[in-house]
Amino acid sequence: MSMVCFRYARFLVTLLIVWFTLAAPIWSETQQYEGHRIVDIQFSPPEQPVAAPDLETAVTLKPNTPLRMVDVRVSIEKLYATGRYEDIQVDAEPSGDGVVVRFITRNSWFVGRVSADGRVADPPNPGQMANATRLQLGQPFHEEDMTQAEIGLRKLLIDDGYYENQLQPRIEYDARTQQAHIHFIVESGPRAKYRTPVVQGNLKMAVDKIITATRWRRRIIGGWHPVTQSRTRQGVDNVRRKYESNNRLMAAVQLKQMDYDRDTRRVAPHLDVDAGPIVDIKAVGAKVSSKAMKQNVPVYEEHTVDRDLLVEGQRNLRDEFQARGYFEAEVEFKEQKLINDKAEIDYLINLGKRHQMVHIEIQGNHYFTTDSLRERMFMTPKSFQFRHGRYSDALRRTDEESIMNLYRENGFRDVQVNSKVVDD
């Protein structure tokens, strides 16, 4: 048996490279078959993923016609174009006064059902274990993908305290659908428990307070909690919040590693802490509660202090006071230098006179009624519910944009909406 064609790559660039580099020797080997009558065309394996009519259309070679290498190449390209093949080779062997052409194929496989179960106490649950493999329904599947799938599943199990897990992967190939169904049988082993964390860095807080803040240790009955991914993450967040409660808003807490002791089945988390300076944010010129300050100044939420966040806090505080009737409110902030591990930030507030929003007038609305526009607006005249009305520069801009969007969505592309405030 002699090889009369070669393995084609899927991509045209590779196909051309292979052809130009290998065509000469292949051609010399096939001179004896070029032009010989094709006695039969066979497929190995006999069961092909392409329906018989489509297969006949794709293969331009026909029995009782001369064997032409150009027809072999075209047939392979058409078969690859179906997307159902990963590898195609063509053999030819003499038979009587002609040749038998045989297509040797390897199917493309796609991820089908992915599941995992076994002796595993939640967490993780079966759905989380299947997702951890990162095998997505319908994506191309190769057996080497199982390595990364196992790595992902083992990481999930370890993060949830199962350091002594065992996996038995099984793959079921469905030739009819070209799907590979993957199932993992999981033996989790015992779940590890925490032990005393290793805490290092610029702490500015007693180590025992940091450990207590993690809540990894049982308070009443003593001992340590079992390890879970969510509990580990929550413990790190608890330490950060502990620092924030002491106004160390720039505190950074990182989990560097988890050291597992197989003999005791205990895990020691390693925390790296940078307490950062005390950040004192206060309002000057108007009273702002601690709750309102945290709601309006995003440094508390973002766990860092930078100019962009302070500017956003400036706008939010201005809008807050304008919504209370101080329509002329002005807010600026001033940063003090870091002195003795303390940084001060003052928001300077000038409220101006308190006003009431008494009337909203809309003119020039020739397509939509005033009521239709009003129901889309945030600004509101004074009422029993809103003693001073509801107004701020931000609300006014939002209402302008809302009205413009309404008109543009209905074909008025050049619409303009302007507003002015009259202080009576």
Q: How far apart are CA 182 and CA 275, in angstroms?
A: 47
The two beta strands, 266-274 and 193-194, are parallel
Residue 306 φ then ψ, to 5°: -145, 170
Is the bond preceding 25 in cis, omega lying within 30 degrees of 0?
Answer: no
SS3 at position 38 = strand
Q: How far apart are CA 123 and CA 233, in angstroms?
A: 14
| Residue that the structure tokens 């308190």 belong to | 354
User: Which alpha helices (DSSP H) does 193-258 contain, by range?
Assistant: 207-214, 229-245
What is 310-370 written as a DSSP string?
A: HHHHHHHHHHHHHHTT-TT-EEEEEEPPPBTTEEEEEEEEE---------------SSS-H
- Per-residue model confidence as pLDDT tens for the chain (424 residues): 333 333 333 333 333 333 333 333 333 444 468 889 999 999 999 888 888 899 999 999 999 999 999 999 999 999 999 888 989 998 888 888 899 999 999 889 999 999 999 999 999 999 999 999 999 999 999 999 999 999 999 999 999 999 999 999 999 999 888 999 999 999 999 999 999 999 999 999 999 999 999 999 998 888 999 999 999 999 999 999 999 999 999 999 999 999 999 999 999 999 999 999 999 999 999 999 999 999 999 999 888 889 999 999 999 999 889 888 888 899 999 988 888 899 999 999 999 888 888 888 899 988 899 999 999 998 888 888 777 888 888 888 999 999 999 999 999 999 999 988 887 6
Q: Give the pTM.
A: 0.71
Alpha carbon 25 to chain centroid distance? 49
Closest CA to 275 of 210, 361, 354: 210
Is the bond preceding 53 in cis, omega lying within 30 degrees of 0?
Answer: no
